Chain A
Amino acid sequence: DAMVIQNPRYQVTQFGKPVTLSCSQTLNHNVMYWYQQKSSQAPKLLFHYYDKDFNNEADTPDNFQSRRPNTSFCFLDIRSPGLGDAAMYLCATSRDRGDIQYFGAGTRLSVL
């Protein structure tokens, strides 16, 4: 059974139209991460939550925001998607910082 669940698996949006991707976990892990992965590249960390503490990566554009309303759920909001934001978005969780990260299946975002 999937322990890190991402919805939807595929998302199509229009240029500039806000979009929200969701992630839920059944592992009760403290840390949740969002990564962006483009074709043939390694995942790139956007930000993470350690419990309710938000940690943004220095080079993450302001266009990307995140919310974690409770332990189980975390959302990625893209306020004004551009063509360059088309990618696979991966959610991951870990029990604590520095522990093994477990990934969801990802959401493939297309921007038209």
Chain B
Amino acid sequence: GESVGLHLPTLSVQEGDNSIINCAYSNSASDYFIWYKQESGKGPQFIIDIRSNMDKRQGQRVTVLLNKTVKHLSLQIAATQPGDSAVYFCALISSGSARQLTFGSGTQLTVLP
């Protein structure tokens, strides 16, 4: 089966610093990868995605990097703000007919004042 794992369960950063959240995956047959942000008591919110044929994609204050050689995905948040405090999940969409969404275990990001 497929598995998606995160390196660290918690991450604390100072407000204004950059955050990097990492994710490892085991199945190379994945069409693309998604980062979700889930604030306490809310549903996951789509942040950014990246196709398997890309290695970098940028959004507003966020950058996702994909290294298919080592099966590693990261989310970089620039100038982290208190509103960024949340659990971040990486997820992948498997290729093939099933095309399931598989979530990683989540990283709790805490932004310190």
**A residues adjacent to B (C-beta < 8 A):** 4, 6, 40-43, 45, 90, 92, 97-98, 100-106, 108
Contacts and interface: CB of A to CB of B under 8 A. Distances in A.
Contact of B46 (A41, A42, A102, A108): A102
A103 B45 contact: yes
Nearest to B94: A98
18 contacts: A4-B43, A6-B43, A41-B105, A42-B89, A42-B104, A42-B106, A43-B44, A43-B103, A90-B44, A98-B93, A100-B34, A100-B46, A101-B46, A101-B101, A103-B36, A103-B43, A105-B42, A106-B42
Contacts of A41: 105-106
Contacts of A40: 106
B99 A106 contact: no
Interface residues of B, number: 19
B101 to A, nearest CB: 6
Query: Looking at chain A's contact residues, is the secondary structure mostly helix, strand, loop, or mixed?
Result: loop
Contacts of B34: 100
B12 interface: no
A103 B100 CA distance: 15
Contacts of A6: 43
A98 B46 CA distance: 14
A34 to B, nearest CB: 12
B80 to A, nearest CB: 22
A98 B99 contact: yes
